[in-house]
Amino acid sequence: MNACEQKQTEESNDQNNTLETQDKKTSGNPIIEGWYADPEAIIYDDTYWIFPTFSAPYKEQLHFDAFSSEDLINWEKHEKILTAESVEWAEKAMWAPGVIKKDDKYYLFFGANDVHEGEVGGIGVAVADRPEGPYADLLRKPLIQDIVGGAQPIDQFIFKENDDTYYMYYGGWGHCNVVKLNDDFTGLVPFEDGTLYREVTPENYVEGPFMFKKDGKYYFMWSEGGWTGPDYRVAYAIADSPFGPFEREGIILEQDPEVATGAGHHSVLIHPDGEHYYMVYHRRPLSETDQNHRVTCIEPMTFDNNGKINPVKLTFEGVEAHKVMN
């Protein structure tokens, strides 16, 4: 091939790639390249964001990447927004970001070190001026390190109540606690009875709590089963209070032998129109047996006439384009 022919071929490939991007009607699943799990999805201003766990052996989980999109179709990668080098107490197993914006600052809560009793680790907090970071360790120590009520301090989710109270739900090892955060996220605020921790564990809970509010009701969600196995799944409850009681409604996300296994540890994107909900989750491709080979996917999430969540179907198509602001 001479230089002229090569140039024409490159121009043709560029045109084809552009057309493919323009003609792409759905996100496809997985929506981002690489092994990523435990995705925390959120909307900041007019942009969708996903903050996942880098899915690798524990000793290699030393950083977080983030991904942003204006339409749910095309995603931009933001590399190493927080690394173990900037968290002096984190040595491994940096897991499951929980993110939120407050007072023009962006906060990223994370688990580190797969902490056990008497060890250094647990839930930390990092802060940045932009969603893509870079994030800096806010406390230079864990916010929560102790094993309280049997709950390993991991998998934190931050829930903002209508009165601007910030609750954090967290916990592994089959137990879930809720705590109240202070104004600058540097510590905990006691509940009315003087306690700092309140257990809210529902039936079959394992890890990965998530909460949203709809029509005055609190929808509490969690993961069941083992994260390394095919039976990992998501269940939920509906309550009148952020403290429950959370009576299990049933499973809404699970494996599909035609699509993928190990579907779980999710979050929910709620479009500002209040009508479109999206479940962002991880799953394991059928061809993969490595426990860390997990990918991040997205599906529409809908409700029946009684406000119950309909089972979410695993697909390869994903979702249609939808901008935050139309």
CB atoms within 10 A of CB 163: 5
CA distance 165 to 180: 7
Structure tokens that stand for 7 in this block? 């140039």
Q: pLDDT tens for residues 141-183?
A: 999 999 999 999 999 999 999 999 999 999 999 999 999 999 9
CA distance 181 to 143: 10
223 beta partners: 207, 234
Q: Which residues belong to the active site?
A: 38, 207
Structure tokens that stand for 79 in this block? 């590399």
Host H or E run for residue 6? helix 3-23
Q: What is the DSSP letter of 120?
A: S
CA distance 135 to 130: 9
The model's pTM is 0.92
- Summary mean pLDDT of the chain: 94
Q: What is the rounded end-to-end Cα distance, in angstroms, of the chain?
A: 47
- pLDDT values of the chain reduced to their tens digit, one per residue, 326 residues: 444 444 444 443 443 333 344 468 999 999 999 999 999 999 999 999 999 999 999 999 999 999 999 999 999 999 999 999 999 999 999 999 999 999 999 999 999 999 999 999 999 999 999 999 999 999 999 999 999 999 999 999 999 999 999 999 999 999 999 999 999 999 999 999 999 999 999 999 999 999 999 999 999 999 999 999 999 999 999 999 999 999 999 999 999 999 999 999 999 999 999 999 999 999 999 999 999 999 999 999 999 999 999 999 999 999 999 999 87
Q: Is 53 exposed, middle or buried (0-12, 13-18, 19+ CB in 10 A)?
A: buried
Q: What's the Cα-to-Cα distance from 104 to each of 86, 133, 166, 199, 298, rounded to whole Å?
A: 22, 13, 16, 31, 28
